[in-house]
C-alpha cells in the first residue's frame, strides 16, 4: 500500500517549482516509476506535485535552428510515432519503441524516462543499501548478474533508461527550470556517476523541472540506431544496449558517437568505439576491431562476465548494420 501524501496539480511552472521546494515534495509526471517507488517504500513523499496539467511542457516542435524541441511531458508512445523523429533521429524512435509495454509507453513521459530511479533489486527491495543511505552495497557480494561492467565505484547499478543513451548519442540537451531561472545541460552531463555521488542519479535539485529536450539539427550524412538485448521477449530492461550516431561521407565515418546501455551506472560513452571508427571506412573488419576495443577495459563482477561477449557481438553487429543501412 502507498503511504498517504498530499496531491497538488499546479497549472504553471512557477507554481510547481514553489510546491517542489516544500520539504518532502516529489515531482510526478506519468507516475509509472514514481508510484512504484512510493509503493515499494524506496522513498517517501509528503507532497506529490503533478506537472501533468502544465501545457508548456507538452508538444514536439521544430526549433528555428532546424532541430527539434520535445516537451518533457511528451509520452514515449508519441515519440515512437512522430514522423520527424522517425526519419531524422532514428536512434530515439528505436529506443522509445523498446521501452516497457504499450500501456507504459502511453502513460510514461520522456522527462520521467530519463530521470527514473535504478532497477537494482537490492535498491528496489528491502535493503537499506548505500544508495538508499545505508553503509553497504549488497551487490558486491551478492547477486550481481545484472549489474555494471564499466564505471562501478561504491554502487554498481546500470542506468535504466532506453531513451537516454540515444539522446546522448544524438547530442541532445535538456532545459531545466528552477527557482533561479533556467539552465541548459547536455544529456551527456545530466546523470551523476557513483564515483561523484552515489546517492543521486541526476544533477537536478529537488525543486528543478526538466521542461524540454532539445535535439540539434541532424548533421549531413547522419545515421543513427539503437539496439537492446533483454532477458525476456516481454517488457524488460536492457541487459546490453548500444546507441549509435555516425556521420557518413560515402562509406567513411566522418564522426561517431557510441553510447552503451546496461553497461554502467550512467549512459556510457564508448570513446574506444568512436576513436576506432572515426575518420575511417566502416566495414566488417573495422566493426570487429571497434567491438573488441569497446570491451577491452571492462571490469565484470562475479556473475556478469557474460556481458563482455554479449556487448562485443552486439556492437559488431550494430556497426556492420549501420554501415550497410540507408541514411536516417
Ligand atoms: C514494468 C515497467 C517496465 C519498464 N520498462 C522500461 C524499459 O524497458 N525501458 C525504460 O527505459 N524504462 C522502463 N520503465 C520505466 C518507464 O519507462 C519510465 O518509468 C517512464 O518513462 C517514466 O515516465 P513517467 O512520466 O511515468 O515518470 P514518473 O514516474 O512520473 O517519474 C519518474 C521520475 O522522474 C522524475 N521526473 C519525471 N518527470 C520529470 C521532469 N520533467 N523533470 C524532473 N524530474 C522528472 C520524477 O520525480 C520521478 O523521480 C519501466 C517501468 C515499469 C513500471
Ligand atoms: S548497486 Fe547500488 S543500488 Fe544496488 S545495492 Fe549496491 S549501492 Fe545499492
- For 179, residues 6+ apart whose C-beta sits below 8 A from its C-beta are 17, 21, 207
- What is the pLDDT, as a whole number, of residue 212? 98
- Ligand nearest to C-alpha 138: 2
Spatial contact of 105 and 117, defined as CB atoms under 8 Å apart: no
Cα of 121 vs centre of ligand 1, distance in Å, is 17
For the chain of 328 residues, list the mean pLDDT of each consecutive stretch of 10: 92 97 98 97 96 97 98 98 98 97 97 98 96 97 98 98 98 98 98 98 98 97 96 83 97 97 98 98 97 98 98 98 76
pLDDT at 326: 57
153 and 194 in contact (C-beta within 8 Å)? yes
Contacts for 76 with CB less than 8 Å, ≥ 6 apart: 96, 99, 100, 104, 105, 106, 108, 109, 110, 113, 163
State whether residue 287 is helix, strand or coil.
Answer: helix
Q: For residue 227, give the nearest of 218, 214, 215, 239 by alpha carbon.
A: 239
| Residue 327, pLDDT score | 42
DSSP 143: -
Tally of residues, the chain: 328
Which grid cell sits at 14? 512557477
Neighbour tally for 39: CB within 10 Å: 11
The owner of cell 520521467 is 112
Q: Is 100 in the pocket of ligand 1 (CB under 6 A)?
A: yes
Name all residues whose Cβ lies below 6 A of ligand 2: 118, 120, 122-123, 129-131, 137-139, 147, 155-157
* Probe target for ligand 1 pocket from 5, 8, 104, with the most ligand atoms within 8 Å of CB: 104
First-to-final CA distance of the chain: 46
With a 6 A CB cut-off, is 76 part of the ligand 1 pocket?
yes
pLDDT of residue 232: 77
Mind giving me the DSSP string for 185-244?
EEGGGTBPPTTT-TT-SBS--TT-EEEEEEEPPPPTTEEEEEEEE-SSSSS---SEEEEE
Distance CA 42, CA 70 (A): 30
Closest to 256 (Cα-Cα) out of 245, 270, 241: 245
Would you call 232 exposed, middle or buried from its count of C-beta atoms within 10 A (0-12, 13-18, 19+)?
exposed
Beta carbons within 8 Å of 55's beta carbon, 6+ residues apart: none
On whether the CB atoms of residues 168 and 216 are closer than 8 A, the answer is no
pTM: 0.98
* pLDDT for position 132: 95
pLDDT of residue 259: 98
pLDDT at 222: 98
Amino acid at each position: 500500500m502507498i503511504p498517504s501524501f498530499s496531491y497538488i496539480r499546479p497549472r504553471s511552472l512557477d507554481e510547481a517549482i514553489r510546491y517542489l521546494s516544500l520539504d518532502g515534495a516529489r515531482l510526478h509526471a506519468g507516475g509509472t516509476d514514481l508510484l512504484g517507488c512510493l509503493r515499494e517504500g524506496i522513498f517517501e513523499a509528503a507532497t506529490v506535485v503533478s506537472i501533468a496539467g502544465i501545457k508548456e511542457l507538452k508538444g514536439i516542435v521544430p526549433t528555428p535552428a532546424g532541430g527539434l524541441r520535445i516537451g518533457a511531458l511528451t509520452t514515449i508512445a508519441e515519440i515512437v510515432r512522430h514522423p520527424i523523429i522517425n526519419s531524422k533521429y532514428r536512434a530515439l524512435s528505436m529506443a522509445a519503441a523498446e521501452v516497457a509495454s504499450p500501456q507504459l509507453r502511453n502513460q510514461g513521459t520522456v522527462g520521467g524516462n530519463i530521470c527514473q530511479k535504478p532497477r537494482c533489486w537490492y535498491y528496489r527491495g528491502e535493503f537499506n543499501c548505500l544508495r538508499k543511505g545505508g553503509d553497504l552495497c549488497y551487490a558486491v557480494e551478492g547477486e550481481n548478474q545484472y549489474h555494471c561492467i564499466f564505471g562501478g565505484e561504491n554502487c554498481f547499478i546500470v542506468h535504466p533508461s532506453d531513451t537516454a543513451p540515444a539522446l546522448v548519442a544524438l547530442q541532445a540537451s535538456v532545459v531545466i527550470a528552477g527557482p533561479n531561472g533556467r539552465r541548459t545541460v547536455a544529456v551527456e552531463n545530466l546523470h551523476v556517476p557513483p564515483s561523484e555521488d552515489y546517492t543521486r542519479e541526476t544533477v537536478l535539485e529537488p525543486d528543478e523541472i526538466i521542461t524540454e529536450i532539445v535535439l540539434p539539427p541532424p548533421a549531413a550524412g547522419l545515421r543513427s540506431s539503437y539496439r537492446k538485448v533483454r532477458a525476456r521477449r516481454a517488457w524488460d530492461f536492457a541487459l546490453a544496449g548500444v546507441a549509435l550516431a555516425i556521420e557518413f561521407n560515402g562509406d567513411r565515418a566522418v564522426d561517431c558517437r557510441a553510447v552503451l546501455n546496461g553497461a554502467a551506472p550512467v549512459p556510457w560513452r564508448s570513446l574506444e568505439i568512436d576513436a576506432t571508427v572515426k575518420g575511417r571506412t566502416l566495414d566488417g573488419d573495422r566493426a570487429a576491431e571497434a567491438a573488441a576495443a569497446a570491451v577491452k577495459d571492462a571490469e565484470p563482477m562475479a556473475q556478469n562476465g557474460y556481458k563482455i561477449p554479449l556487448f562485443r557481438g552486439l556492437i559488431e553487429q550494430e556497426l556492420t548494420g549501420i554501415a550497410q543501412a540507408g541514411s536516417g
